Structure 1
Amino acid sequence: MVVLAALVCATPVAAATAPVAQTGTDVRIGATIVVDEGETVEGLEAIGGTILVEGTVTGDVEAVGGDVRIDGDVQGDVDAVGGTVTIGGDVGGDVGTAAGSLEILEGATVGGTLSAGAATVTIDGTVVGDASVGAETIRLGDNAALEGDLRYGGSLEGDTDAVAGEVERDSSIAVGSDLAPTIEPLASWVVALYAFALNLLLGAVLLALFPRFSAGVADRVASNPVRTGLVGLGVLVGVPILLVATAITVIGIPLTIVGTFAFLLVIWIGIVYGRFAVAAALLSLAGVENRWLALVVGLLGGAVLGQIPYVGDPLNLLIFLLGLGALASTLYGPRRTVRERGQAEPEPEPGYEGDVGSDEPATD
């Protein structure tokens, strides 16, 4: 849910890329990530829409993106997951990919082994080591040169004489099977970092612009967590049903579309408020009252929980329900109070300043 909701409002910050590690490896997150020609980095871990390496990477490249392209010089290994992965430069180590399509262009060199899973794989460059490829279609171009053995699963086309070693068909080779254990930890943690940055930005805006409202949300979670969580569950289940019912009529379709996006934004805010409120309650037990610290601790805690198998996601769901319920209750509370006061204390008729219901006019 975090990623789905975050995508609604991610545009203003998605174009930014920022190194977040101090180990010599650049960790970059953004819509477009480029290592420019003439630029040299020790290593690159990246997630983005487009990842382009035109310069030099003296270490490894690990990338998750819609389009991953290596046109420069990577002296280490390349592990990439993407819609399209293109090798147009030189890779000194191994290449592992899981992609919609992989292309090794003419003049490109893979100095180690190739391990690939994709819908289509085209090799028109040089692979020094062995190659293990699983794809629906594997094409060897006129300029291809595979100096080791080729194990493949799928349909092999083109110049098979380009393989210097043995060519063996192995139907057990699945798409991405060799790469998944390598790339999944990177993808999981990088996505968590990206979500944390977006959540922190939203949380800072909420606390700065609506400090009293945010404090009220935290108070509701701390004072009555069971009731608040049940309200959150009701909102999570009830609003989609209402949106579907609204969409039944033609007139309701535009309202449903707008309502869906609004609800996604509310979900995102509920996630942030839930983590903030739970952290604020825990810090309060320790005698610490600091809303900014609670925000950071809560969001970090949620990101870490998301990486814990089996229990992390259920706990984050409970925290989210608390935030959603507190948000809905705090928004509805003032309206209910005003309505109840209006019913209990009707305004006196014009010209009278005495008690409500008195027939006697006011006297000086």
Structure 2
Amino acid sequence: MIPMFTSKQLVALLLAVLVVGSLAGVATAQQGPSAGGTVVVEEGETFTGDLEAIGGTVVIAGTVDGNVETTAGTVLVTETGEITGTLEGVAGSATIEGTVGGDVSLSAGAVFVRDTATIDGSLEAAGGNVRLDGAVGGDVRVGAEDLVVGPNTRVGGSLEYNAESTAIDSAAVVDGGVTEVDNVGIDSPPIAGVPVEFGQFEGPTIPNWVFSGYWLLVNLVLGSIIVLVAPEFARRVTGLGTKKAVRSGGAGLLTIVGVPIVLLVLLLTIVGIPLSLAGGVGFLLALWVASIYGALVLGAWLLSLADYNNRWVALFTGLFVLTLLDFVPLGGVLEFAVLIVGLGAFALALRGESGHDGDDDVGAADEGSQEGAPMA
């Protein structure tokens, strides 16, 4: 079952794809758009004009006499850094330690405004973790999972926020008052030229169960195709997952750790960059397929407790149980365990292995049914 992603996690995923495909090496900021593994405006350097920067890391340690629009894994405005205009960015993490003369709009997994930071305009931030501990001349609007407002915070306007957990230090000064709101809309700059709305909560809210039901149907269709196209392979994967669960889990854990390392090594070479990008996309698709096999394994195991054997019922049961786990505490941990077992069984089956006593696997229902069980 593909896990439900929050908007912050989706942005992180987009950034991961972007960074994998980014150019290797170091690029120094220059007139016009800049791209590279690292884009830097050095301390003591002045960049005149608007800077559009894309890279694994974007560092502003000098002066940008204009606006900055960036998409990167990491964005840093150091204590010596100064942006005379606005700062807009999408990033894995964004940190401001220096000065921004205009407004700031950041969407990131983590946003930090340090106690040395000064933002003359307003601040809009959306992220998994947002920490504000500097000076903001205008209003502040935040949408986050975790919001921390530190003791050195000075806000000339109001603070509006929507967060799952909030800690506001009593020493923080907010001239316009602090308000918790339900809707926080924050517009982000385009990613690779594609407009993205991040943290947009305005309008009617779609219940989580609608998305869960949608993914249940999508995964059920994909699972049906998988079982119909390669029934014998599905039987082998199911046998491995149910009868060699420990071995499958170990293989899955090794795969989910090892493959990203290999892709990262490929990324460090010019020739390997296209292979790394293609491999990353392929690995994401493989994880999706493995999650379906994991659901099939889970369903088969649950049905075996009732001495019942039917691959279609097993597929639906496994996917349905994983859907319910979306609403259960620690359900994500159980979903990950099922994914690991499914991924490992999938990898072992690709190597030609199979579970012992394979004829008793769920897939054997292709030929008929057990007593009391319907035809598959």
TM-score category of the 2 structures, normalised to the smaller one: 0.3 to 0.5
Report 1 or 2 for greater relative contact order, CA contacts < 8 Å, sequence distance ≥ 6. 2
- TM-score norm. by structure 1 comes to 0.47
- TM-score norm. by structure 2 comes to 0.46
- Structure number with greater Rg is 1
